[in-house]
């Protein structure tokens, strides 16, 4: 049988993304070890469940209808009930990536505790697959995977720039072209009315905020020659805002995830802070002031 004919009969649709880490990736498995009298991760490693969890998060952040959101999520990504569908999305890596390199968790400080990380400039291929019977969903699934890498990062402290990843085969010469690409992807899968304004994507303010974090804006800050400088800038900005607006842009006790998500992306030959803003109900009255200070410190021009 001709090999082309054999390939044509495969039951899987597949697309591959050549990826490279921009900042240290702190993605940990279940293995633990004793360090400093505490149980801590034994290594940093690429993990499919962690990637899928982030994709689900951004799926929800792009939804506008709470009543249909859960039905659509189960339809695309599966559910936990006995009669729920299995996920239509199949993800695999081309290789196992495991690292025991220690990285400072607070890069803006001279002294900081460390954890295992996957180093910047680590390359890997992410394979996105679906069975041919789910062909009608494949492009949508691929779009959500791409948006997850554009709008944020992965792993521990990904809201503060760690775990930022780039697509090796996709390059953008200006912040505007980068934003136009993200806007196009959002419009493929979401009813959110996003518009391009200067170096920002803004969601129409008349949109009703529903009971989960929902995308509000994507901002691009000041360019740097080195990715680590952007990482330090994001973390220093977070530290400075926390001192003035304690608990508003994230908190450990009570647990509250920051609605401001900072990541690092390469555009042209420089590295930029990307600040993705999500919003939910019960916003703190001082939130907008805290957000504006953070954006100013990372060089966003409003």
- For 56-97, how does the pLDDT look when each residue is reduced to its tens digit (9 = 90+)? 999 999 998 888 898 899 999 988 766 667 899 999 999 999
Domain count, the chain: 1
Asked whether residue 235 is assigned to any structural domain, the reply reads yes
- Flag whether 230 is in a domain: yes
Residue 17 in 3-state DSSP?
A: strand
Residue 262 lies in a domain: yes
- 3-state DSSP call for residue 60? helix
Q: Under 8 Å CB-to-CB from 80, ≥6 apart: which residues?
A: none
> Does 302 map to a domain?
no
Q: Decide if 70 is inside a domain.
A: yes
Separation of alpha carbons 8 and 252, rounded Å: 51
Contact by Cβ (8 Å): 157, 116: no
State pLDDT tens for residues 89-123. 999 999 999 999 998 888 888 788 888 999 999 99
Please state the pTM of the whole predicted model: 0.90
83 occurs within a structural domain: yes
Residue 105 lies in a domain: yes
Reported as a single tens digit per residue, the pLDDT across 1-36 is 444 444 455 688 999 999 999 999 999 876 666 655
Burial letters 13-50, b for 16+ CB under 10 A, else e: beeebebebbbbbbbbbeeeeeeeeeeebbbbbbbeeb
**Do the Cβ atoms of 175 and 272 come closer than 8 Å?**
yes
The whole-angstrom separation of Cα 162 and Cα 249 is 17
State how far the Cα of 27 lies from the Cα of 103, in Å rounded to an integer.
12
284, part of any domain: yes
What domain range includes position 158? 3-297
């Amino acid at each position: 049988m001709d090999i082309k004919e054999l390939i044509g009969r495969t039951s899987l649709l597949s697309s591959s993304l050549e990826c490279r880490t921009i900042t240290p990736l702190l993605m940990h498995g279940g293995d633990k070890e004793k360090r400093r009298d505490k149980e801590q991760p034994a290594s940093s490693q690429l993990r499919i469940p962690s990637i899928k969890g982030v994709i689900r998060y951004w799926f929800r952040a792009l939804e506008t209808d709470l009543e249909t959101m859960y039905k659509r999520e189960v339809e695309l990504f599966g559910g936990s009930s006995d009669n729920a569908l299995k996920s239509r999305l199949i993800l695999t890596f081309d290789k196992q990536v495991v690292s025991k390199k220690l990285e400072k968790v607070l890069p803006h400080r001279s002294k900081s505790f460390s954890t295992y990380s996957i180093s910047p400039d680590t390359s890997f291929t992410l394979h996105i697959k679906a069975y041919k019977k789910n062909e009608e969903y494949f492009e949508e699934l691929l779009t959500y995977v791409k948006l997850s890498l554009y709008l944020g990062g992965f792993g521990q402290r990904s809201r503060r720039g760690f775990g930022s990843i780039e697509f090796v085969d996709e390059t953008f010469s200006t912040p505007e072209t980068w934003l136009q690409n993200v806007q196009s992807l959002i419009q493929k899968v979401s009813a959110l009315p996003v518009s391009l304004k200067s170096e920002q994507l803004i969601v129409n303010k008349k949109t009703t905020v529903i009971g989960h974090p929902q995308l509000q804006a994507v901002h691009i800050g000041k360019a740097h020659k080195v990715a680590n400088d952007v990482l330090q800038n994001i973390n220093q900005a977070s530290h400075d805002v926390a001192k003035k607006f304690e608990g508003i842009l994230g908190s450990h006790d009570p647990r509250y995830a920051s609605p401001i998500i900072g990541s690092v992306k390469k555009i042209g030959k420089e590295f930029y802070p990307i600040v993705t803003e999500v919003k939910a109900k019960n916003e703190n009255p001082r939130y907008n002031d805290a957000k504006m200070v953070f954006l100013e410190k990372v060089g966003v021009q409003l």
